[in-house]
Structure 1
């Protein structure tokens, strides 16, 4: 357990040490939460249609499975509002510890859940409920993690520090893909019977590790200062909607340039590759690991460039890369040639990664300190709820038009909308003066 520290008396060395600790806590904690969140997406594509939605034709079963996946996205704005309130009222740290525990418990229970064959519709209902809990926890995780790391950083490092939360996403995708791939290899034909449970049960170990790390982090100096001066908002969620409705709307649209391509090029690509193209599941999960490594490097470099040059410019470059890759991705993927499939997914993720690098700091800088947890969380998670329809929408478009062209158009439109939104985003007043960690 950490002891209370006096932020006013911290030396420069101590501030930098706390900033590094906050960055590590953001990286590890968010990685664990996204591991659980992405794991559900992979299983929704590979095994849940047969285990929890039997009796339907393959397309209907996949749509039902992705609908359960979407429940997590729909819950994220609710979690953002709930945890945003407490994050801006009682502190970032305590709230983040709670979101971590909620996610871990829900994921572990999914791993213990009997299938439809054993419990009938009750199993399906519980699966959807646990997915809701996952989304509720994730809704408060991202914003709090970003705010904690950005508020501990100096002005010239906000992009890089914010990317500690961002890079957790591909690391989690890498980790979940590696665990699923190893489980498929070790359990063979039993993967669809009981092997799929192993990755979910592993999450309880990861949660314990994350809990220990997060307990050692202090709330940021800016939050402590607001608390000391009694400047905390009494109704932060209400105040975000009342004082920053335009900013909130623009942040929601800005997030489309990352979330839409990410879920099309990962979650949908898995189901499309295994279902339509008859590619091996293990090959696809292995490819996701390669994609994750590429995205990690891109996120860090893009965040660094956003500190050195301009966050908006880096964002525009990423969105335009997605526009350029929207059609070539499927042209390469449809060849079913292993090397070209890997190339398609690796090139396509560069756009989303370039957007994601500066996105955390870009959003956090739009809201004042007293509303930052709520504003950042709500904007990002409301956008995520929209993004969450992507796998379902892609399945529908493919089944309706028997072509991937409408999916490519969807990617282009989402990216262009996001660019227009970011052009109109403004940094919060006094944000540059709030250089609390320098």
Structure 2
């Protein structure tokens, strides 16, 4: 299992480095480099909208690469997703700004973000299945949680690189220094390809191929047998995905611009939180194998709702101790609680021959609503009203009340409720056998998977 876990985790970490790097730059750099004609708030909002494009693309990436993964194999598909993501990120690093090519810069940036979204949309399902289908007989929650660690690793790597480059380039960071972290992606691509080319196909997919049970149309197969599981899996993600981007992207804007914390303190707090989460993600994945993933996840949704107000109360103290504490708790405890067991919770609901597609769709369908929109909604809820004059719409004003952090807290609670209700509709499959090469559905009577072909 060692080489497989290393490959799936490191490959995922490289892709998430690329994805998070864009998120960090969307709040710190892109409003000034690609949207300089806008005021500070609208510029940030426009940068976050390009951030959203990546999330809109993710379900399409899940469908496209899920189809390929269920038809030709997990390994080959993961190589394609890594190349797409890495090349798009590298090109961002050499893209001229608004001052050089005008509005074309923002349009090309959006297109590259679209490519990133397609790559990440196909990456998650393959990486998780690589671990899950090798270690499916026992401790699925634990083994499948390792690719999930690629998220905090990528977050740590992107944040540390940005911090180092920002400190060393100083005033030149906004001029050319910000490009260096994107260019480093080229080196990471080479490392990732070397690792992924050395692994073998998963034994469960090999069994499907040898018995010639591949799905001719994996997307149709997934929806034919597992539509409720796809939709409920998407709903289950709201409590994890949206808060995660509040905890890692929105918090930068909130901490620096609203509270007045230093950018270095905010970024360092996120880095420390991600380091701690490296240990809590596999721990919570392991505990879900012992306790049961469904009940563990339900408890996590409740805890997230309870944390919604204390999170802001701790940050609002502007304390150099309590602000980092809020950030660390948000990621290492409340996010990891649901993120650790999430991969197994979703992937074990689908048959091997359409598992890549079904798991990817269930995971990625939530992305546009619970991922990319989250920091945008939070910014609007926080500020209340904004005029769209910078977009040429001077007569248009978006109103979200008077604006307050309490509104963002209520938003978090609503997200937790959506996921709680969704997980209530899922069956407990922690100890179910998922090795069948036939298509199957989850029976209503008990947690035993029944063949349908």
TM-score range with shorter-chain normalisation? Answer: over 0.9
Moved more, 156-165 or 75-84: 156-165
Alpha-carbon distance in 2 for matches of 1:427, 1:309: 11
Distance in structure 2 (CA, Å) of the matches to 1:36 and 1:271 = 20
1:150 aligns with 2:132: yes
Aligned 1:18-33 pairs, distance under 5 A: 19-33=1-15
Map 1:49-88 onto structure 2 (within 5 A). Answer: 49-88=31-70
Q: Which residue of 2 aligns with 1:420?
A: 421
Distance 2:149 2:297 in 1: 16
Matches within 5 A, 1:171-320: 171-320=153-302
Report if aligned partners of 1:180, 1:285 keep a CA contact under 8 Å in 2: no
Map 1:104-183 to 2 at 5 A: 104-183=86-165
Equivalent residue for 1:16?
A: none
Distance 1:429 1:290 in 2: 31
- Matched residue, 1:397: 381
Taking structure 1 as the reference length, the TM-score comes to 0.93
Shift of residue 279 of structure 1? 2.1
* Cα distance in structure 2, aligned partners of 1:158 and 1:327: 34
Please state if 1:365 is matched with 2:348.
Answer: yes
Gap regions ≥5 residues in structure 1: 1-18
Name the structure with the higher helix share: 1
CA contact (8 A) 1:258 1:352 kept: yes
CA distance in 2, matches of 1:310, 1:25: 27
Deviates more, 1:133-142 or 1:271-280: 271-280
Cα distance in 2 for residues equivalent to 1:165 and 1:49: 32
Cα distance in structure 2, aligned partners of 1:394 and 1:423: 27
Secondary structure, aligned partner of 1:244: helix
- In 1, are the aligned partners of 2:351 and 2:436 still within 8 Å (CA)? no
Question: Which of 364, 367, 385 pairs up with 1:381?
Answer: 364
CA deviation after TM superposition for structure 1 residue 429, in Å: 12
1:356 aligns with 2:357: no
Q: 1:290 to 1:259 in 2, by over 3 A?
A: same
Provide, for residues 254-282 of structure 1, a one-character-per-residue CA deviation record: whole Å limited to 9, x for no partner: 01111011111110001111222232222
CA distance change for structure 1 residues 366 and 154 in 2, over 3 Å: closer, same or farther?
closer
1:54-94: CA deviations, max 9, x gaps?
Answer: 11121111110000000000000010010000000000000
Q: State the alpha-carbon separation in 1 of the partners of residues 265 and 346 from structure 2.
A: 36
Contact 2:236 2:418 in 1 (8 A): yes
Query: Quick check: 1:365–1:427 contact (8 Å CA) kept in 2?
Result: no
CA shift, 1:433, in A, is 5.5
2:62 and 2:434 map into 1 onto residues whose CA distance is: 27
Q: Measure the CA separation in 1 of the matches of 2:418 and 2:81.
A: 31
Q: In 2, distance between residues paired with 1:320 and 1:264?
A: 18
Whether 1:103 aligns to 2:104 is no
Give the SS at the match of 2:404: coil
In 2: Cα distance, 1:223 partner to 1:102 partner:
24
Equivalent residues, number: 418
Cα deviation, 1:224-273, whole Å, max 9, x if unaligned, reads 11111111100001221232111111000001111011111110001111
* 2-structure distance, mates of 1:433, 1:283: 45
Provide the aligned C-alpha RMSD in A: 1.6
| Deviant stretches of 4+, over 4 Å | 427-431
In structure 2, the residue matched to 1:411 is: 412
Q: Distance in 1 between matches of 2:296 and 2:137?
A: 17
Q: Deviations over 1:151-171 (max 9, x none)?
A: 000422211111111111011
Q: CA deviation at 1:317?
A: 2.6
TM-score (norm 2): 0.90
